[in-house]
Amino acid sequence: MSATSRGHGATLAEKILARAGGKDSVVPGEIIEGRVDLAMMHEQGAQTVQPFHEMGATRVWDPDRVVIAIDHWVPASTEGAAVLHRILRKFADEVHLPHFYDVGNHGICHQILAENGWVVPGDLAVGTDSHTNMLGAMGAVAAGIGPTEMAAVLALGRLWLKVPTTVRINVRGKLGPGVTAKDLVLRALGEVKTTGATYKAVEWTGPTIERLSMPERLTICNMTTEMGAKCGMVAPDSKTRDYLSGIAKHSMHPMYADPDAQYERTVEIDVDGMPPMVACPYSPDNVRPLPDVAREHVRIDQAFLGSCTNARIEDLREGAAVLKGRRVHAGVRFIVSPASTAIYRQCLSEGLVDLYTEAGAVFTNSSCSACFGGNMGIIAPDEVCASSSNRNFPGRMGPKEGRIYLMSPAATVAAAIRGEIADPREYA
């Protein structure tokens, strides 16, 4: 049954997947064979190499549509990581993949794709990382897939996909001073929950979303992963086109939801008067107003400003505005990890590295860093971390007893200064 025969139009995800499948229309639950516009691998992609060869493949369908980014352990901090890096370097050389972001020109894979224009409106993009959803901010379907699926994509340029239903999150109102897109997505997570959008598309709409900058849209699409979503999306507009102007690697094919598109449900959010938010242990959907938590005087051992969610130059400037003229609290370790080498260089030129380090923070090279509990910033059992990252499940930063509070960059810095969870608006 076509969308038209059902008497309604198509959502943004349905439009893009119909294009990818070479169809006029698709319906939720339908299986398509989608043509992939961009494939990305990081260290986990090393697990793709063996099945790629086992299926008899010798060539990649289109080397100009494949990106490899070393980002989790940079430089390699364990023998295992060094082996993964070597596997990917050898594979890229054997099958002639020119777009390899190796140590020295590296960054978190999703940021590499965003800042270099690898994903454009209307694309179907896939990557070997669950937070590939972030690239849906370009008006694309961007989704994480497993290494065996990626092997098929590399060989064929196509992938079987089930068309998801779509949850619309419609946002109105104006974000107040000290309240950010990170607070918005935490608020939405508190309502949708971590299983509320499992294998669904999440489409962000409304006047508040239209006012968000591209970095802010990247943040909210990134954390649709924590809702269980297959993809998170914002329809393209002039901001999208301006962002991609001069960097887009291939032609755009923007698409838009029909006015009569049918959504599985619509979540309405009004941000007028909304305070900063915080996700408390041990789930990203355990969300409370940050001022309420601040009144409980939750002491921290570490603060982390980084991750694919909030380590762009805008985030680091946001934190610097709070930190300027102040110092990190005694006994707090404050780790700052920019999302890419380009952002790191920008921090150097703007004096942000000096500002953070003179205040008592440590400024690391660009990588996933402390976020995934594998490199630079693992916490000890029973320690507490204030973090601008996306997940706080047990064991996320190392030991399962560690406690992680998720918040905006400004709130992360405020916690580093106070030595406990603090309302960033007090440091305006």
Please indicate whether residue 105 or residue 3 has the higher confidence score (pLDDT). 105
Angle value at C-alpha 111, between 93 and 370, nearest 5 degrees: 95
Report residue 288 CA to chain centroid gap.
22
Q: 131 near 308, Cβ under 8 Å? A: yes
- Enter the DSSP assignment of 299: B
pLDDT at position 198, please? 97
Domain boundaries, the chain: 12-246+261-268, 277-423
Residue 2 has pLDDT above 80, yes or no: no
Mean pLDDT of the 116-120 span: 98
CATH of domain 277-423: 3.30.499.10
- pLDDT tens digit sequence for 263-305: 999 999 999 999 999 999 999 999 999 999 999 999 999 999 9
Q: Are 342 and 108 in contact (CB under 8 A)?
A: no
Q: Which has the closest alpha carbon to 113: 218, 224, 269, 228? A: 218
Return the ∠ at Cα 199 (arms to 171 and 215), rounded to 5°: 45
Say if residue 7's pLDDT is above 70. no
What pLDDT shows up at residue 1? 39
Whether 277-423 and 12-246+261-268 are alike in CATH topology: the answer is yes
Mean pLDDT, the chain, integer: 96
Task: Give the tens place of pLDDT for each residue, 64-80.
Answer: 999 999 999 999 999 99
Tell me: domain 12-246+261-268, CATH 3.30.360.10, correct?
A: no
Q: What integer is the mean pLDDT of 369-387?
A: 93
Question: Taking a C-beta distance cutoff of 8 angstroms, is the pair 317, 215 a contact?
Answer: no
Q: Which helix (H) or strand (E) holds 413?
A: helix 409-418
